[in-house]
Amino acid sequence: MARGCLQGVKYLMFAFNLLFWLGGCGILGVGIWLAATQGNFATLSSSFPSLSAANLLIVTGAFVMAIGFVGCIGAIKENKCLLLTFFVALLLVFLLEACITILFFAYTDKIDRYAQRDLKKGLHLYGTPGNVGLTNAWSIIQTDFRCCGVSNYTDWFEVYNATRVPDSCCLEFSESCGLHAPGTWWKAPCYETVKMWLQENLLAVGVFGLCTALVQILGLTFAMTMYCQVVRADAYCA
């Protein structure tokens, strides 16, 4: 009876981790594709220059693949050590995500202030040698969201030490249009504009977060159930 239950859980555990591993492959693939095709689009942060979407996806994908691989092997081999390793690793990730979410909502105002200060600091790197990624990122953000600067278009005045903004701030793009009168520039602050866009899509973000948590809880349940079944089967055989 114990062996029959173990086989059922084993197949479920293997199927779950195979999907988990394939998901990691997909995330890693998207990250590599972004790095190869959108390499010039980097982070807007001057404090964390490596914190780009491509790098985050590559690291996340590799980590998910590693956890999924450990889970698959643990299920196939019915190895208690690997199953426990998978459970502990997934539990740590789940707790880390929960802590980050709680801290984010608890310190939203402080995070807002720090983010705006860091972004304004990053503006001074715009157009400088070795910062093509940051330059392109700001150009894309300002063009797509029809905004200018972090909190105001005047943020750029400190960068240029003149009444000037990048050409991507212009209502109608043209060469050196950033030297024209302020009436020809976008007035909306980029930070608040992007923040409002994220709030409008909060439902999608929430659904994604809940689905991610559900998958992790299922993984934890399968891993611990199979671990207990293996222990019982070993005790039964003994």
pLDDT at 2 (0 to 100): 47
Which of 86, 80, 84, 82 minimizes the C-alpha distance to 6?
80
pLDDT at 238 (0 to 100): 56
Which of 183, 149, 181 minimizes the C-alpha distance to 166?
149
Say which residues have a Cβ less than 8 Å from residue 150's Cβ, sequence separation at least 6.
116, 119, 120, 123, 189, 190, 191
- pLDDT tens, 163-175? 899 999 999 888 8
Q: Write b or e for each residue in 167-179: b if 16 or more Cβ atoms lie within 10 A of its Cβ, otherwise e.
A: bbbbeeeeeebbe
pLDDT at 5 (0 to 100): 59
pLDDT at 43 (0 to 100): 66
Question: Do 192 and 145 touch, CB atoms closer than 8 A?
Answer: no
Chain centroid, CA 225 distance in Å: 30
Has residue 227 been placed in a domain? Answer: yes
Task: Read off the pTM.
Answer: 0.76
Spans of the chain below 50 pLDDT: 1-2
Please give the residue range of the domain that contains residue 98.
7-124+134-147+188-232
**End-to-end CA distance of the chain, in Å?**
15
Has residue 170 been placed in a domain? Answer: no
Has residue 112 been placed in a domain? Answer: yes
Has residue 156 been placed in a domain? Answer: no
Compute φ and ψ for 41, nearest 5 degrees.
-95, 105
pLDDT at 1 (0 to 100): 46
Number of domains the chain is built from? 1
Which of 136, 170, 137, 140 minimizes the C-alpha distance to 153?
170
Has residue 106 been placed in a domain? Answer: yes
Alpha carbon distance 161, 140 (integer Å): 23
Has residue 1 been placed in a domain? Answer: no
Has residue 172 been placed in a domain? Answer: no
Give how far Cα 172 sits from Cα of 69, 137, 181, 183, 226, Å.
52, 19, 12, 11, 62
Compute φ and ψ for 195, nearest 5 degrees.
-60, -45
CA angle 191, 94, 42 (to 5 degrees): 35
Give how far Cα 208 sits from Cα of 7, 19, 201, 213, Å.
31, 17, 11, 9
Has residue 166 been placed in a domain? Answer: no
